[in-house]
């Protein structure tokens, strides 16, 4: 019986080690932004990991790459038309993750100040209620290579 319990515990330990590590911090992982033309719009996506012991809220973002930056949620409206809804705050519970991805939550970059081409990098700062700002370098990638169709309700190229 001891061997079975040890085997089960060892298996649980191994499985937990395979998951995403949670430090005692709020982190952004696997960030990327889609391409876009100057004057147009783009979006940034990532996995937000709240490794702290308290809930935090993503309350905004900023970037020198765009005139305005907003947190949005894309969802299908009652008329079967994709809508983007500005979010004032998105909760990330303690020890949980929030995925920002095409067709869901994302960081909307409005009024691009430059073309965003594959291989470029932009700086994005995430603003939180309950945690310090997080600044990250975000690579620009082709949406088709990242699981986005390029037309996820953004009306972008």
The pLDDT, as a whole number, for residue 104 is 95
In the predicted structure, residue 157 carries a pLDDT above the cut 60: no
71: CATH = 2.60.40.1890
- In this prediction, residue 12 has a pLDDT band, given cuts at 50, 70 and 90, of very low
Q: Is 112 a member of any domain?
A: yes
| 9 in a structural domain | no
Does a structural domain hold residue 8?
no
**What residues form DSSP beta bridges with 139?**
121
pLDDT tens digits, one per residue of 75-116 = 988 899 989 999 999 999 999 999 999 999 999 999 999 999
Model confidence, pTM: 0.79
Structural domain includes residue 135:
yes
Alpha helices in the chain (DSSP H): 2-18
- Domain assignment present for residue 4? The answer is no
Q: When comparing pLDDT for 145 and 124, which is higher?
A: 124
15 belongs to a structural domain = no
Instruction: Tell me the residue range of the domain where 50 lies.
Output: 22-146
Assigned domain for 118 exists = yes
Task: Quote the CA–CA distance of 53 and 142 in Å, as a whole number.
Answer: 36
Examine residue 156 and state whether it is found in any structural domain, yes or no.
Answer: no
Residue 152: the pLDDT is: 43
Domains held by the chain: number: 1
Separation in Å, CA 29 to CA 6, 62, 68, 119: 33, 17, 23, 18
19-56, pLDDT tens digit by residue?
Answer: 455 679 999 999 999 999 999 999 999 999 999 999 99
């Amino acid at each position: 019986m001891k061997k079975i319990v040890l085997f089960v515990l060892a298996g649980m330990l191994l499985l937990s080690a395979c998951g995403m590590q949670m430090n005692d911090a709020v982190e952004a992982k696997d960030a990327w932004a889609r391409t876009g033309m100057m004057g147009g719009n783009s979006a940034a996506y990532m996995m937000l990991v709240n490794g702290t012991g308290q809930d935090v809220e993503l309350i905004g973002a900023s970037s020198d790459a765009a005139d305005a930056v907003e947190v949005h949620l894309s969802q299908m409206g009652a008329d079967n038309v994709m809508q983007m809804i500005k979010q004032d705050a998105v909760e990330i519970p303690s020890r949980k993750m929030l995925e920002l991805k095409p067709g869901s939550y994302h960081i909307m970059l409005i009024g691009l100040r430059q073309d965003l081409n594959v291989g470029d990098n932009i700086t994005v700062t995430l603003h939180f209620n309950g945690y310090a700002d997080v600044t990250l370098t975000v690579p620009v990638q082709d949406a088709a290579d990242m699981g986005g169709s390029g037309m996820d309700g953004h009306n972008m190229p």
